[in-house]
Chain A
Amino acid sequence: MSADAAPGPAPSTARRLHDVPTVPGAPKPDPILVADKVSRRFGGLTAVDVDHIEIQRGVITALIGPNGAGKTTLFNLLTGFDRADTGSWTFEGTPLAGKPAYRVAHAGMVRTFQLTKALSRLPVIENMRLGATGQRGESLWRAMLPFTWRAQEAAITERADELLHRFKLHALRDDFAGSLSGGQRKLLEMARALMSEPTMVMLDEPMAGVNPALTQSLLGHVKDLREQGMTVLFVEHDMDMVHDIADWVIVMAQGSVVAEGPPDVVMADPVVIDAYLGVHHDAPATEAEERQQLAEVESRLEKEFSSPDDDSEAAEPALGARDEH
C-alpha cells in the first residue's frame, strides 16, 4: 500500500478543509454531523467524553486512536446502538440523540460493524434486498398481498444486482451469505448499507481481517462513496490506509478527542504520538538528552527501513515513525 495511490480528496471539499484549524473540536465550514458534550460511562469507567465534534460533509473522515479510546462506543452512541449518558447531536440539522437505531438509519446515517454482520442463512441477494428502506411489503398487512409490493421488489432487486456487480459479488448472488469469506462479507455489508441510499456511511474498522488483495478493492469502494457525494466516517487502525484515503483525521484517546487535522499534520502531532505510546513515558530532561534520544530513534528507524519490510503490515505501526519527510 503506497501513499501515491491518489490520495485525492475531492478538490472543493479539500480546499474548504484547508482553512480549518487543527484543534480538537474544530468548527467545519459545512458540517453534516455536530455533536456536543457526548458522554458514556460504564460504571466507573468513562468510555466516551467528547466535548464537541463536527464532521464535514462530503469528505472521508477517519476516527483513530489506541485500543480502548472509545471510538466504537462513540460510533454506537451516534448511531443509536447505545444510550449516551449526556449529550446531544444533530445530523443534517435533525437532533438524533436518544433516537433508536432504526430511526438513525432512516435519517440517512448507516453503519457497518467491526465484527461483520452478514445474515448467514439468507442468500446474498436477500441480504441486499433487506437493505432497501421504505419497502411497502414490510408492513404486515400488505405482506400478504404480493401485488402491492411486487413492482417495488423488482426495482429493489435491480438496484441490488447493480451494486453486487460493482462490488464484484454478483457471482455469489444466490449463495448463502454464511458461505462468504471474511473480506467478501465486508464487501457485502458495505453494499448492503448502500442499499438504503444513505447520505453518511459509518464504517467500523472496514479493513479488519481483510486480506491485502481485497483491501485495495475496499479502499476503492470507500473512495467511490465520496465521489458519489456521501460522507464517510470510519474507524481504522491501519495507518497506511488512513493516510491513503482520509481527508481529515480525528484522534481519540481515553474517551475524548485529543487532536484533529489532515493526516500528515495529525500523525506528526506529539499529542497523538503520546496517545499511542503513553504520555511522555520517556520525556527528555535536558536538551542534550533529547538530541541523544532523537539520534537513537533515528538509527533504530534506519535499521528497520533497511531490513526487508515484510513486517510493515504487522502490529500497530508506530505513528510518526512513518513520517518520511
Chain B
Amino acid sequence: MDWNSLVANSFHAAFGVNAIAYAIAAIGLNIHFGYTGLLNFGQAGFLAVGAYGTAISIVHFDVPYFLAALIGMSMAVLLALLLGLPTLRLRADYLAVATIAAAEIVRLVIGSTVYARWTGGSSGFSGAFSNAFYNANPLPNETLHFGPVSVTPNRAWFMIVGWSLVAVIALLVWLLVRSPWGRILKGIREDEDAVRSLGKNVFARKMQALIIGGVIGSIAGIALVTGERAVLPNVFGTQLTFFFWTLLLLGGVARVLGPVLGAVILWLVFAVTESILRSGASAGWVPEALVSQSQIGLIRVMLVGLGLMLLMIFRPQGIVGDRRELAFDVR
C-alpha cells in the first residue's frame, strides 16, 4: 500500500475545502436543530443562495469579492425570512417539509435553462469569479511540503482563511449559546409553550436562530465554491444536506465543536476507506467482479452509513455529546 498517498489524501480530506465547508454548514445546522430544535432539511438551499448570490454579483455586476460575499449572505437572510414567516408558527415538522422543498426549488431554479443567462444553467460558473480571493494570497508562490503532504499556495491560503472562519464562527456560536439568548433557544427546543408562558417571544427567537444558522450555511456555500473554484447547481442537492446531518450526529448535537469534529472525521473516513479500497483493488485483493473501480466511491458511502448506524446504536450522543441528555424522553 502507498502510505505516502494515504497520508496526503487523508490530510487534504480532513482539513481541505470540503471539511471546512461542511463544518461551517453543520455549525449552522447545529444552531437550527441542536439548539433550537428546528428541523431544517434544506441547509443545502442556504449554501446555494450564498454561493450563487456571491458568484452572480461578481460575474455580472463586477462587485468586489468581500461585498459579493455579504450579498450572498443577505440572500440567505431573505430565504430564512421566506421560509420562517409562514412556517415557524406551526409545528416543527412543517418547517422540515418546507425547507426540503425550498432547497430543491432553489437548486432547480438556478440550474434551469430559463435563468441560464444569469446563473449559467447546469454548467454554472467557472473559477474566474474567485480570482479576487486568490489574488489576495500573501503567501510566497511556491508549493509547501510537509513530509508526504504537499500544499499549493492557493490551497494553503484557502485553508488558513477557511479554518480561521471556522474558529471565528464557532467562537461566536459558543458566545451565543451560553448567553441568556442561547438559553431561550434551548428552552424552545425542549418546550416552546413553556418558554412562551414565561414571557419570551418564541417566534422572534426562532426566526433569529433560523436566520443565523442560514447565514452560516451561506458562508459554507461561499467557502465551498471558492475552494472548488466552480459553481455547479447539482452540488447543492438533497444529499448535501444529509451529509451535514450525518456529520452533526457523528460529532455530537448541541455541542459547539461537534460539527467541526464530525466534518473532519467524516472526510477522514472517506479518504482512508477510498485509499484502502483502491489500493486493495489494484493489488488484486478486491476482485474486480465484486467491486469495480468505479464502484469504490459508492462503497465508501455505504461504509460511512454502516459506521453511522453503529454509532447510533452504541454511542447515540455522538463523539462529544452528553449521554445523560438522552436518558429521558424529551416529549
Which A residues are closer than 8 A to B by beta carbons? 79, 81, 100-103, 105-106, 110-113, 117-122, 126, 129-131, 133, 135-140, 142-144, 146, 149, 153, 176, 178-179, 189, 192-193, 195-196
A119 touches B190 (CB 8 A): yes
A149 touches B187 (CB 8 A): no
The answer, among A100, A130, A143, for a CB contact under 8 Å with B176, is A143
Stretch at the interface among B103-111, B303-311, B323-331: B323-331
- List residues of chain A with CB within 8 A of the CB of B242: none
> Which B140-199 residues sit within 8 Å CB-CB of chain A?
172, 175-176, 179-184, 186-187, 189-191, 193-199
Secondary structure dominating the interface of B:
helix
Residue B122 interfacial (CB < 8 Å): no
Which B residues are closer than 8 A to A by beta carbons? 172, 175-176, 179-184, 186-187, 189-191, 193-202, 208, 212, 324-325, 327-330
B179 touches A129 (CB 8 A): no
Instruction: Report Cα–Cα, A131/B197, bound state, in Å.
Output: 9
Instruction: Report Cα–Cα, A142/B329, bound state, in Å.
Output: 33
Chain A residue at minimum C-beta to C-beta distance from B212? A140
A122 touches B187 (CB 8 A): yes
- List residues of chain B with CB within 8 A of the CB of A111: 197
Instruction: Report Cα–Cα, A220/B180, bound state, in Å.
Output: 31
A146 touches B186 (CB 8 A): no
Instruction: Report Cα–Cα, A130/B186, bound state, in Å.
Output: 10
- List residues of chain B with CB within 8 A of the CB of A105: 196-199
> Nearest Cβ distance between residue B31 and chain A, in whole angstroms?
12
Instruction: Report Cα–Cα, A130/B183, bound state, in Å.
Output: 7
The answer, among A81, A117, A139, A176, for a CB contact under 8 Å with B191, is A117
Give 10 closest A-B pairs by Cβ, nearest first: A105-B199, A137-B180, A143-B181, A143-B179, A178-B328, A117-B194, A119-B190, A101-B196, A135-B180, A117-B191
Given A100-B196, A126-B186, 8 more A-B residue pairs with CB atoms under 8 Å apart are A102-B199, A103-B199, A113-B194, A121-B186, A122-B183, A137-B180, A144-B175, A178-B328
Chain B residue at minimum C-beta to C-beta distance from A153? B180
Between A and B, 17 residue pairs with Cβ closer than 8 Å are A79-B197, A103-B199, A105-B198, A112-B197, A113-B197, A117-B194, A118-B194, A119-B195, A120-B328, A129-B183, A130-B187, A135-B180, A140-B208, A143-B176, A143-B179, A144-B179, A149-B179
